[in-house]
Chains A and B, each alone.
Chain A
Amino acid sequence: GQNIDQPTEMTATEGAIVQINCTYQTSGFNGLFWYQQHAGEAPTFLSYNVLDGLEEKGRFSSFLSRSKGYSYLLLKELQMKDSASYLCAVREDSGGYQKVTFGIGTKLQVIP
């Protein structure tokens, strides 16, 4: 089974750095995704981690520690347009299949 935890809401200031944490429990871990979802829109892919360490992509970075069941998404130089929900999703091997389970999402509000 799957259990994914991430904070429900966060607020940060324009130009600052924010870290959104995600913890998970799974028996067949096979990758972790971060998605961004603006209100009323579809989720869009941000990053994918399957090995321990940091993946950097522009202003966004994602970190994974498989032994701790922990990931974070780091957003630098925050912009107002970064106000959105950030979804952590874990893929696991389950009974010969692979399935992806999403966390409930962290709603980030960027303020001036």
Chain B
Amino acid sequence: KAGVTQTPRYLIKTRGQQVTLSCSPISGHRSVSWYQQTPGQGLQFLFEYFSETQRNKGNFPGRFSGRQFSNSRSEMNVSTLELGDSALYLCASSLGGPNTEAFFGQGTRLTVV
């Protein structure tokens, strides 16, 4: 079956702009989590959506938001981009149960200039 698909793979934006990233989970997976990965901080949890509801949220400013659609696809939006937002943004999908593994997409590499 198809894996987790993230689009676009690469993106260059300027400071102050906003950006929307997309994630299509594995068919049947209802949980989608978003992470920011930078060399110095590692993987930082942004938020998780399950059945169109935000189930948990990390410690990121309100400029970072997300949503999930009825087909479990998810989008992440970052407004008023800052240079420090440059990172690899990873999406992971899972069935959503207590001991289910998460499958990661290839990520979107965002560069803010």
A residues whose Cβ falls under 8 Å from a Cβ of B: 30-31, 33, 35, 41-45, 48, 50, 87, 89, 94, 97-105
Contacts and interface: CB of A to CB of B under 8 A. Distances in A.
Contact of B99 (A50, A103, A105): A50
A94 B42 contact: no
Interface of B: 4, 33, 35, 41-45, 48, 55-56, 58, 90, 98-99, 101-107
Interface class of chain A by DSSP: strand
Interface class of chain B by DSSP: strand
A31 B101 CA distance: 11
A31 B98 contact: yes
A44 to B, nearest CB: 7
B102 A45 contact: yes
A89 B35 CA distance: 13
Contacts of A45: 101-103
A-B pairs, top 3 by smallest CB distance, nearest first, are A104-B42, A102-B43, A42-B104
Contacts of B35: 102
Most chain A beta carbons < 10 A, residue from B41, B101, B106:
B101
Nearest to B39: A104
Given A102-B35, A102-B43, A104-B42, A42 B107 contact: yes
